[in-house]
Amino acid sequence: MPVGTPNLKRFAWLSIAAAMATIALKTVAYLLTGSVGLLSDAIESLVNLAGAIMALAMLTVAARPADEDHTYGHSKAEYFSSGVEGTLILIAAFSIGVAAMLRFLAPQPIEQVGVGIAVSFVASAINFAVALVLLRAGKQHHSITLEANAQHLLTDVWTSAGVIVGVGAVVATGWLPLDPIVAMLVAANIVWTGARIVQRSVLGLMDTVLPAGELAAVRAALDSHLKDGVEYHALRTRQSGARRFVSVHVLVPGAWTVHRGHELLEDIEARIRAAVPNVTALTHLESLDDPASWDDIQLDRPVPAAAATPTGEDSRP
């Protein structure tokens, strides 16, 4: 593991332990009550386990240092984990929906409700506590894998709450179809969460720009140097798991010495690193006296000098 890289695998092991405990508890709750809603809860916990194991594997890969074949490191491996977990969530939702539909067509009585709900509540409490730990760690270390795992566990908590309410409503009203109806609502909620996780993973793999707040911080660091004739353009940013990458072209008067230009770039890179966590800043020095300095080769076509705005941002559509 690279020097300074936090060991996030311990959080994945915590998630695995929580998934195994909740699978056991929710399975017992289902066997005691026969509730398809509680069965849907147990099925989702199986997905939690699969997601946690995948998270452990990808966090192990992401922690590897850069090598000759991966000069930017392995941090994008986290997107595979969150993408797989999102897909597993969608598969679980489909399974729950099928089971709920079959039970809706052939309702069955629910037994030992008190014990089943109590066991399910304990399982949900475990998931809630672990989800808060993972969410805090994910935000602190900018790990999409831990954040996705935490959101999945929180979804499990809210759906468990819905199932408990559904089972209680069946007992209170005696209307058996309420149980599978609640299970269907659980499946719909899981679809929403799974789709969002998959979307975020795809955006990460597509080198999406930094979030608006971080991008604004980068621009503020650059704008602080817009004096003495200094300009910038070709600002590009992307995310790669917990890592951020920023590249920019800085233009200075042609009469500047190489040493002065170098000192400016060092200061700019230091300000960007101070403004955005886990960032690699790459700067390129150019002369304001050369019209070609405004050329920005992107998508295999240059941007004329007239197409650049005073702040250095490309005005190309």
pLDDT score recorded for residue 303:
44
Residue 201 or 210, more confident: 210
Delimiting residues of CATH 1.20.1510.10 domain(s) in the chain: 9-205
pLDDT score recorded for residue 297:
56
Tell me the pLDDT band of 107, cut-offs 50, 70 and 90: confident
Q: Tokens at residue 317, please?
A: 């559509």
User: pLDDT digits over 38-55, tens only?
Assistant: 676 677 778 778 888 888
CB neighbour class for 109 (10 Å; exposed up to 12, middle 13-18, buried from 19): exposed
Mean pLDDT across the stretch 100-114?
73
Q: Does the pTM exceed 0.85?
A: no
Architecture of domain 9-205: Up-down Bundle (1.20)
Calculate the alpha carbon distances from 135 to 38, 124, 186 in Å: 25, 16, 22
pLDDT score recorded for residue 237:
92
One-letter amino acid at 70 equals H
pLDDT score recorded for residue 315:
38
Query: Residue 310 pLDDT more than 60?
Result: no
Q: Tokens at residue 74, please?
A: 């392995």
User: Do residues 109 and 176 make contact, with C-beta atoms less than 8 angstroms apart?
Assistant: yes
Architecture of domain 212-307: 2-Layer Sandwich (3.30)
Query: Residue 15 pLDDT more than 60?
Result: yes
User: Do residues 225 and 264 make contact, with C-beta atoms less than 8 angstroms apart?
Assistant: yes
Delimiting residues of CATH 3.30.70.1350 domain(s) in the chain: 212-307
pLDDT score recorded for residue 253:
92
Query: Containing H/E element for 68?
Result: none
* Secondary structure class of 236 (helix, strand, coil): strand
Query: Residue 104 pLDDT more than 50?
Result: yes
Tell me the pLDDT band of 172, cut-offs 50, 70 and 90: confident
Query: Residue 281 pLDDT more than 90?
Result: yes
pLDDT score recorded for residue 87:
83
Query: Residue 304 pLDDT more than 50?
Result: no
Give the lowest-confidence range in 157-166, 248-257, 297-306.
Answer: 297-306
